[in-house]
């Protein structure tokens, strides 16, 4: 895991503390659960052009260095 710091509004911090106590879970566990659920629900955009082109070759990844030199 990676440690990070999050600043919360006072009322959000109070609600988090109360929820953690009611569920007998740590505040950190609740935050991880909420962020995991949120980040998997939000659609991720892919940069334009990625995966949108087909070279017609099946060996591009194996020959990338050679092909880039051409």
Question: pTM of the prediction?
Answer: 0.59
User: Tokens 């939000």 appear where?
Assistant: 42
The tokens describing 6, both together, are: 């999050």
Cα 36 to Cα 42: distance, rounded to the nearest angstrom: 10
Q: Do the beta carbons of residue 26 and residue 34 sit within 8 Å? A: no
Q: Which of 67, 48, 51 is nearest to 59 (CA)?
A: 67
Write the pLDDT tens digit of every residue in 19-67: 999 999 999 999 999 999 998 887 877 777 666 677 777 777 787 788 7
Give counts: helices (H), strands (E), the chain.
Answer: 3, 0
For the chain, the structural domain boundaries read 7-43
């Amino acid at each position: 895991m990676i440690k990070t710091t999050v600043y919360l509004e006072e009322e959000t911090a109070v609600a988090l503390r109360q929820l953690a106590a009611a569920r007998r879970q740590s505040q950190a566990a609740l935050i991880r659960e909420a962020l995991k659920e949120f980040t998997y629900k939000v659609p991720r955009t892919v940069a334009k052009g990625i995966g949108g082109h087909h070279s017609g070759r099946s060996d591009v990844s194996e020959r990338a260095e050679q092909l880039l030199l051409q």
